[in-house]
Chain A
Amino acid sequence: MTQTTADAARAAKGPPTKPLKPRKYNRREAIAGYLFISPWIIGFCIFTAGAMIWSLVLSFSRYNLATNVQSPVGLANFESLFSDPRVATSLGNTLFFALLSVPLEIAFALFLATLLNRLGRGAGFFRTVYYLPKMTPMVATAAIFFLLLNGNTGAINEFLRFFGISGPQWLVDPDWIKPSIVLMSLWAVSGTMVIFLAALKNVPRELYEVASLDGAGAVRKFTTITLPMISSAMFFNVIVLSIAAFQTFDQAYLLFWRDQSNASPESSLFYAVYLFQQAFRQFNFGFAAAMAWLMFVIIMCVTFIQMKFGNRFVYYEGDK
């Protein structure tokens, strides 16, 4: 890890101790190196670079599936992107979902990790149990929650009834569809939790002891020691969860869009689902490719803003 960080830093800033002449490479060694990485080079050329170029061409074309003919249409696909109300709907749904799910998942995962961290050695059992949902395939998770989220007889509403709350029609009421999917994500939050737990374990105990001597309370210790010390894990989790939230597909597809015959609530139309439908149900490859590039640009922007904004608060060990 240290090696990479150093590499990345060097790559970003330019080597400070650059030799005046480029290093001579051992020819045999260089050839062997290229041979070892050749599978990746071939794959990159075809499945990444090649595919990206083709995707870009497609986004400016109309593709006829029957004849395999691509005809250029200029900006038509991008124009229809902005005139298609369902693009706006799905984009809005996805952003709303991301804004709701990412903070909740972060808070819940950190809360669980903190609890586990206090336990020390006894945490193993709970860590295993909490990890089981992560091992449950998404299809099974969706199939189970289809029952648990049933508005009339589902276990979640039965539980709420116990406290005198009459729960919503989770999967029917348009306002509650996205919270339903958030609930499913919270159940499988353990991946995020494990990363937080690893970060918490690395916080030096002495810091807390010193703070105790200075009379700091639990809250104070959490905000002035724990949060800064785990900020790089926090930063990582926020970025990864945001990117994942933006590409949410399985849950929405399985619960609402798997069946073509009945009308599903527009509130459940996620961006990745609409893109998939346009590509592989309508075979509007050009339009779908344009949608994919819009997604790419949005994810890049969100990640860039988070990096720009987040880096100011992130403490990396070894930074001076």
Chain B
Amino acid sequence: MSVNTTAMQTAAAPEDPQPERQIIREKPRLSTRIGKGTSWVLLLIFTAAFMYPLIWLISASLKGRGQVFDNTLIPETFNWRNYITVWDELPLFSWLFNSVSIAVLASVAVALSSSLVAFGFANFRFPARRILFGLVLATMMLPGAVTMIPIYLIWKEIGLLGTWAPLWAYNLFGSAFYIFLQRQFFLGLPRELFEAARIDGASYWGLFTKIAMPLSIPSVVIVLLFEFQASWNNLQQALIYLNAGGVEDFTAPLGIAYAMTKYSPTAGGQGDYQYVMVASLMVTLPMLVLFAFGQRYFIEGVATTGRKG
């Protein structure tokens, strides 16, 4: 039966099928067509609007000092030298290296710890499990500002101020959102898999490393990508923990903030704002590359989990 239907659909597909629909929906179909045309025009207009700032970023990064504030999309002269100058004048390499290192540490730490915790919540029965998981979810509602100062003081007590630790090490203890995400995934796995492995003599740890983790790679990738992006964008933490150090200790966002101050004409800087644009482009590119590879994970991850970075 099902084979039959599919065959019929495939056969009829080339020459616009569904004759009975046509009769009923004569009028709506015309308006749908106009609607679709309008949609296309609007979507193209919005494409221009959304792309313009990014194209502008590239354009402004190539402009000369006197030209960067002018509203011309194509630079008078293409100052490719800007790129060399920026790498000379700003410790861009250090910033990117610091940011990548911290983001890798942060995302790997949170993926491992959150998976462990999520596995505990998903696959084991123990007293107060519901209450504890409720607490996990409740912490998602807590504004970061409430714990910001005590956490700073904790790192100060331990003597780790000025190191990378405050920017990633708390991730070793899991993070509510990712615990929730991973738990959902583990709950979706068939219980028979675990039961069969138990009968074959697998330990609890074995269930986690040999079955749960390999099967949850898609959601682990989402966790890694989301946390990498979150860490990459994190300005406030860097301001708190790395601002006192040398310029070469900055992360990329902190570096851009520094460059904005250094090159903004309003702050009495030289007004070579095109250098800020070069640096901004350097900070944006890794994210765009990541998006090129992980697009599906980013968009579907947001669609299903509601995380918005």
Contact = CB atoms under 8 A, between A and B. Distances in A.
Interface stretch (B5-13, B74-82, B125-133): B125-133
B235 interface: yes
Interface in B255-299: 256-257, 260-261, 264, 266-268, 273, 276-277, 280-281, 283-284, 287-288, 290-291, 295, 298-299
Interface in A30-82: 30-37, 39-44, 46-48, 50-52, 54-55, 58
A289 B149 contact: yes
A29 B267 contact: no
A140 B288 CA distance: 12
Interface stretch (A92-100, A245-253, A311-319): A245-253
Interface in A141-160: 141-148, 150, 153-155, 158
Interface stretch (A1-9, A83-91, A173-181, A223-231): A1-9
B53 A34 contact: no
A197 B43 contact: no
Interface in A259-304: 259, 261-262, 272, 275-276, 279-280, 285, 288-289, 291-293, 295-296, 299-300, 303
Interface string B232-272: 11011001100000000000110011001100101110000
Nearest to A241: B308
A291 B149 CA distance: 11
Interface string B116-160: 110111011111011011111001011111111111111000000
Given A143-B276, A195-B303, A132 B173 contact: no
B306 A236 contact: yes
Interface in A122-166: 126-148, 150, 153-155, 158
B54 interface: yes
B60 A37 contact: no
Interface in B205-227: 208
Contacts of A112: 46
B64 interface: no
B2 interface: no
Interface in B152-189: 152-154, 170, 172-174, 179-180, 184, 187
Contacts of A207: none
Contact of B145 (A25, A58, A138, A247): A247
A290 B266 CA distance: 34
Contact of B46 (A26, A130, A137, A300): A130
Given A137-B252, A280-B240, A254 B257 contact: yes
B146 A52 contact: yes
B69 A137 contact: no
Contact of B113 (A4, A39, A249): A39
A243 interface: yes
Contacts, number: 297
B35 A118 contact: yes
A259 B102 CA distance: 26
A118 B42 CA distance: 12
Contact of A145 (B53, B113, B130, B184): B53
B147 A47 contact: yes
Contacts of B28: 212
Nearest to B144: A247
B300 to A, nearest CB: 9
Which of A23, A39, A135, A250 has its CB near the most chain B CB atoms (within 10 A)?
Answer: A135
Interface of chain A, helix or strand or loop or mixed?
helix
B308 A192 contact: yes
A219 interface: no
Nearest to A261: B267
Given A118-B36, A254-B257, A296 B142 contact: yes
A115 B291 contact: no
A182 to B, nearest CB: 15
A234 interface: no
A147 B56 CA distance: 9
Contacts of B268: 261
A244 interface: yes
B170 A40 contact: no
A149 to B, nearest CB: 11
Contacts of A119: 36, 39-40, 43
Contact of A39 (B51, B117, B130, B148): B117
B202 to A, nearest CB: 12
Contacts of B98: none
A42 B117 contact: no
B309 interface: yes
A119 B288 CA distance: 25
B4 interface: no
A154 B284 contact: no
B64 to A, nearest CB: 14
A247 B140 CA distance: 14
Given A40-B117, A198-B303, A213-B24, A29 B134 contact: no
B124 A30 contact: yes
Given A195-B303, A285-B149, 18 more contacts: A34-B120, A36-B204, A40-B179, A47-B154, A48-B139, A55-B149, A126-B46, A133-B50, A135-B287, A137-B284, A138-B253, A139-B256, A144-B280, A155-B71, A192-B308, A240-B306, A253-B235, A292-B143
14 contacts: A39-B117, A40-B113, A44-B135, A46-B154, A51-B146, A132-B288, A137-B283, A139-B235, A153-B71, A158-B71, A240-B308, A261-B268, A285-B153, A299-B141
